[in-house]
Amino acid sequence: MYGYRGKILRINLTDHSYKMEDLDHELALKYIGGRGLGSKFMADEVDPSVEPFDPANKVMIVTGPLTGTPTPAGGRYMVVTKSPLTGTIASSNSGGYWGSELKFAGYDMLILEGKSPKPVNLFIEDEKVEFRDASHLWGKIVSETTAKLAEEAPDKAKILCIGPAGEKLSKIAAVMNDINRAAGRSGVGAVVGSKNLKAIVVKGSSKPAIADSEKLKEVVKLSRGKLKDNGVTGQGLPTYGTAVLVNIINEGGVFPTNNFQKTYFEKAENISGEHLAENFLIKRESCFACPIACGRYAKADDIEGGGPEYETIWAFGAACGVDDMKAVIKANFWSNEMGLDTISAGVTVATAMELYQRGMIKDSDIEDGLSLKWGDANSMVEWTKKMGLREGLVGDKMAEGAYRLAEHFGMPEVAMTVKKQELPAYDPRGIKGQGLQYATSNRGGCHVRGYMISPEILGLPQKLDRFAIDGKAEWVKIFQDLTAYIDSTGLCLFTSFAIDAQGYADLTNAVCGTNFSDADILEAGDRIWNLERDYNLKAGIDPSQDTLPKRLLKDPIPEGPSKDHVTQLEDMLPKYYEIRGWSEDGIPKPETLEKLGV
Amino acid sequence: MDIKVRLFATLRENRGKEVNLEMKETALPRDIIEKLDISEPEVAILLVNGRDGKLDQELSDGDVVSIFPPVGGG
């Protein structure tokens, strides 16, 4: 078996047993790996109606066939489970060096089942699997957990863990690896916490076999060349990281400010990528086999760490009306240490600020002299910590995410969420395709299920009119399908700025010995998309949830270059359902599922 | 006429963040990049008053032109 290791490690946390199973090669090639294969195992093994924190829910930690190979940026893994935040199937992706190490240990995926009677760590060194007590680490922040585990781990082992937020079942908790890389979204860290699993230490000593090494050398050289020559992956991302988007999105008047009440942030320059690079950047960081190296490492006062990324800067910055980059760096640091998703955490603070603005959260609800006034940078940092630790009334409710926070305080409509997951840093009223993408994303509010910003703002692979409706359903489908494929290979989505479907087919074929065409790639993505959709429908997530907060549908943008626009979702959704092969009500038709072999 | 040019990322090197130019009445964004010694391939995103712009579109007095080199991410 090429690319794959052919082995699954099934972990029973209830009785601390494990077994190794063979990977079905045919099934693997149908669902590829990562997000696709993990979702297939969820569909086969976990009843969609399961409560996310029930021990019957499982966590699939899945690499792709290209993870740990010389393919560019092939170091990713996926955490697939049923989300406590959205109630949908969730798959959260992370880079760093942990995913490739799992592959080197000889496994394509881990399946975590049951619930440990007490906190436990898992140590994996090739075929050696051990359960070790984690009582001494329970409650510890991510860097401390990682440092302590490194003392008892084999040299150069890679460490994945949850922070206090995951332990305390925060619905916006992340799974962290290599200290500051995160499988961030949809609360996957809380499901790991619900199983009393603190960390997975992994060390491997062998590499996956390659079907055609000579061919692979050739296609890797070609794709690395494309990444180098592309302005975004060759210059923009290496120099400024993702944060360079701050000014681009703000100039277009689609930079959500004060929880999407405005779309232009006058002080954006203070939290821009240019400002970060000039004043706070210490070094760049890269993930396994990545020629892009978009990762940042920044310092503010006595705090330093990985990031912050564009989304994080926006969430703790403009979304909260904060223009203090030092505070953003600190909130990012504490978010990582608590094991919180930075998008959800920042948006949740912004939601609290709007609830305060509207009198729903009162001064008497707030402790420790903190405030929820727009732009209060110091309080914003403190709220991040309190959220991670579930401290105080508001901190405890914040740990539930923006929607449940707003619901608790009696105004759910101020939660800028889709399927209860916090929306990211692009106002869809002025980027119509992105709006359709948000509404139809299988894991709720998310930009990386189909990054329509690429054609609608950046002009890649071609420039689309961001205010137009025509053709957007088709673009969204292609982007969603291609993304589902990339997310299943183990490659980083950022490669798609420079590599097209044929390029992904060439890389897969050289590694796996397959003969995929670009059409096969998109069909596999379509299959994965429909599998996720089918699971969500069975989980009770009905198509009426393919929508956006009322503010984005009904309230026109008040000012700036995108003034007067709303997301015309009703003008795009029927076409989207139609080209997906779904009924007018958004249900995949039997013939669609049959054609795709779901 | 007066045109405000806002520059970003690497285009700021030796040019600054913002430049106010006095241009002739028929000036195009193409004339602006020439004046600022920015080559065409360096212009990945061109906005005129925050909207997608073209190198050959006519400008008006008071317009704000924003120019970005190839950058992105997310």
Rounded mean pLDDT, A155-175: 98
Does position B73 have pLDDT exceeding 90, yes or no? no
Find out whether B50 and B68 touch, Cβ atoms under 8 Å.
Answer: no
> Which residue in chain A has the smallest CA separation from B71?
A236
Q: Who among A237, A273, A560 is closest to B50 (CB)?
A: A560
A404 and A436 both lie in a single domain: no
CATH classification at residue A147: 3.60.9.10
Q: Quick one: which of A345, A347, A387 has its CA closest to A168?
A: A387
pLDDT at B71: 82
Sheet with strand B2-7: strands edge to edge: B18-22, B2-7, B64-68, B45-48, B51-52
Residues of B in contact with A252 (CB under 8 A): 47, 50-51
The single-letter DSSP state of residue A69 is S
- A134-157 burial: b if 16+ Cβ within 10 Å, else e: beebbebbbbebbebbeeebeeeb
A244 in the Ramachandran plot: left (φ > 0), alpha (ψ -120 to 50) or beta? Answer: alpha
Question: Is residue A242 in some structural domain?
Answer: no
Does position A490 have pLDDT exceeding 80, yes or no? yes
- Residue where a domain terminates, one of A406, A422, A438: A422
A13 and A96 both lie in a single domain: yes
Instruction: Provide DSSP, A358-394.
Output: TTSS-GGG--TT----TT-HHHHHHHHHHHHHT-HHH
A322 and A444 both lie in a single domain: no
What confidence tens digit (pLDDT) does each residue in A366-385 have? 988 999 999 999 999 999 99
- Does the beta-carbon distance from B45 to A562 stay under 8 Å? no
Does position A443 have pLDDT exceeding 80, yes or no? yes
Does position A135 have pLDDT exceeding 90, yes or no? yes
A417 and A275 both lie in a single domain: yes
For the CA atoms of A261, A265, A270, A275, the dihedral, rounded to the nearest 10 degrees, stands at 110
- Does the beta-carbon distance from B70 to A269 stay under 8 Å? no
A164 and A288 both lie in a single domain: no
Find out whether A96 and A107 touch, Cβ atoms under 8 Å.
Answer: no
> Which stretches of chain B sit within 8 Å of chain A by CB?
6, 8-10, 12, 17, 44-45, 47, 49-52, 66, 68-74
Give percent above pLDDT 70 in chain A. Answer: 100
What confidence tens digit (pLDDT) does each residue in A503-533 have? 999 999 999 999 999 999 999 999 999 999 9
What confidence tens digit (pLDDT) does each residue in A579-595 have? 999 999 999 999 999 99
Residue B74 distance to chain A (closest CA, Å): 5
- Does the beta-carbon distance from A497 to B72 stay under 8 Å? yes
- Residue where a domain terminates, one of A149, A182, A203: A203
Residue A237 distance to chain B (closest CA, Å): 6
Residues of A in contact with B44 (CB under 8 A): 231, 458-459
The verdict on A248 touching B (C-beta cutoff 8 Å) is: yes
Give the separation between CA A397 and CA A420, rounded to whole angstroms.
Answer: 14
Question: Which H or E run includes A128?
Answer: strand A128-133
Q: Who among A241, A560, A562 is closest to B73 (CB)?
A: A241
Find out whether A326 and A276 touch, Cβ atoms under 8 Å.
Answer: no
pLDDT at B66: 97
- Residue where a domain terminates, one of A399, A422, A445: A422
What confidence tens digit (pLDDT) does each residue in A403-424 have? 999 999 999 999 999 999 999 9
A445 and A405 both lie in a single domain: no
- Does the beta-carbon distance from B69 to A310 stay under 8 Å? no
Give the separation between CA A150 and CA A159, rounded to whole angstroms.
Answer: 8
CATH classification at residue A432: 1.10.599.10
β-pair partners for A94: A77
What confidence tens digit (pLDDT) does each residue in A459-489 have? 999 999 999 999 999 999 999 999 999 999 9
- Does the beta-carbon distance from B72 to A232 stay under 8 Å? yes
Residues of A in contact with B4 (CB under 8 A): none
Does position A159 have pLDDT exceeding 80, yes or no? yes
Find out whether A245 and A318 touch, Cβ atoms under 8 Å.
Answer: no
A280 and A332 both lie in a single domain: yes
Tally of structural domains, chain A: 3
Residues of B in contact with A448 (CB under 8 A): 74
A267 and A386 both lie in a single domain: yes
User: Which residue out of A267, A458, A466 would a mutagenesis test of the B interface target, given it has the greatest number of B Cβ atoms within 10 Å?
Assistant: A458
What confidence tens digit (pLDDT) does each residue in A254-280 have? 999 999 999 999 999 999 999 999 999
Q: How confident is the model at residue A537 (pLDDT cuts 50, 70, 90)?
A: very high
Question: Which H or E run includes A20?
Answer: strand A17-22
The verdict on A237 touching B (C-beta cutoff 8 Å) is: yes
Give the separation between CA A34 and CA A43, rounded to whole angstroms.
Answer: 14
Residues of B in contact with A231 (CB under 8 A): 44, 69-71
Residues of A in contact with B70 (CB under 8 A): 230-232, 235-236
Give the separation between CA A437 and CA A573, rounded to whole angstroms.
Answer: 10
Domain with A461 in it: 428-497+517-596
CATH classification at residue A323: 1.10.569.10
Question: Is residue A85 in some structural domain?
Answer: yes
Residue B46 distance to chain A (closest CA, Å): 10
Residues of B in contact with A274 (CB under 8 A): 8-9, 12
Residue pairs between chains A and B whose CB atoms are closer than 8 Å: 90
- Does the beta-carbon distance from B8 to A247 stay under 8 Å? yes
Which residues in B1-74 belong to E strands, given as ranges?
A: 2-7, 18-22, 45-48, 51-52, 64-68
Query: In whole numbers, what is the pLDDT of chain A averaged over residues?
Result: 97
Q: Who among A235, A274, A310 is closest to B12 (CB)?
A: A274
Cα–chain-centroid distance for residue A75?
A: 15
Does position A208 have pLDDT exceeding 90, yes or no? yes
User: Which residue out of A232, A246, A251, A462 would a mutagenesis test of the B interface target, given it has the greatest number of B Cβ atoms within 10 Å?
Assistant: A251
Residue A458 distance to chain B (closest CA, Å): 7
What does the block give as tokens for A558? 């008040």
Distances in Å between the Cα of A425 and the Cα atoms of A94, A146, A333, A490 are: 19, 30, 19, 25
Residue B26 distance to chain A (closest CA, Å): 23
Bridge-based pairing of strands A7-12 and A109-113 is parallel
The verdict on A310 touching B (C-beta cutoff 8 Å) is: yes
Question: Is residue A147 in some structural domain?
Answer: yes
Residue B66 distance to chain A (closest CA, Å): 8
Give the separation between CA A393 and CA A386, rounded to whole angstroms.
Answer: 10
Question: Which H or E run includes A574?
Answer: helix A569-580
* 3-state DSSP of A238-301: HHHHHHHHHHHHHHCCCCCECCCCECCCCCHHHHCHHHHHHHCEEEEECCCCCCCCCEEEEEEC
- Does the beta-carbon distance from B70 to A231 stay under 8 Å? yes
Give the separation between CA A173 and CA A188, rounded to whole angstroms.
Answer: 6
Output phi, psi for A359, to 5 deg: 80, 10
pLDDT at A367: 87
What confidence tens digit (pLDDT) does each residue in A236-252 have? 999 999 999 999 999 99
Q: Who among B50, B69, B72 is closest to A561 (CB)?
A: B50
Q: Quick one: which of A437, A443, A408 has its CA closest to A422?
A: A443
Sign of the CA dihedral with A175 first, then A315, B16, and A231 last:
positive
Give the separation between CA A500 and CA A512, rounded to whole angstroms.
Answer: 18
Question: Is residue A224 in some structural domain?
Answer: no
Residue A142 distance to chain B (closest CA, Å): 24
- Does the beta-carbon distance from A294 to B73 stay under 8 Å? yes
Residues of B in contact with A466 (CB under 8 A): 52
CATH (residue range B2-68): 3.10.20.30
| Cα angle, residue A202 at apex, residues A207 and A2 outer, rounded to 5° | 25
Residue B53 distance to chain A (closest CA, Å): 11
Find out whether A577 and A584 touch, Cβ atoms under 8 Å.
Answer: yes
Q: Which residues contact A107 (CB under 8 A, 6 or more apart)?
A: A5, A7, A8, A9, A63, A124
User: Which residue out of B8, B43, B63 would a mutagenesis test of the A interface target, given it has the greatest number of A Cβ atoms within 10 Å?
Assistant: B8
| Cα angle, residue A146 at apex, residues A144 and A149 outer, rounded to 5° | 105
pLDDT at A7: 98
Does position A552 have pLDDT exceeding 90, yes or no? yes
What does the block give as tokens for A490? 């183990």
- Does the beta-carbon distance from B72 to A454 stay under 8 Å? yes
Rounded mean pLDDT, A27-34: 98
Bridge-based pairing of strands A158-161 and A197-203 is antiparallel
- Does the beta-carbon distance from B72 to A236 stay under 8 Å? yes
pLDDT at B72: 77
pTM of the complete model: 0.98
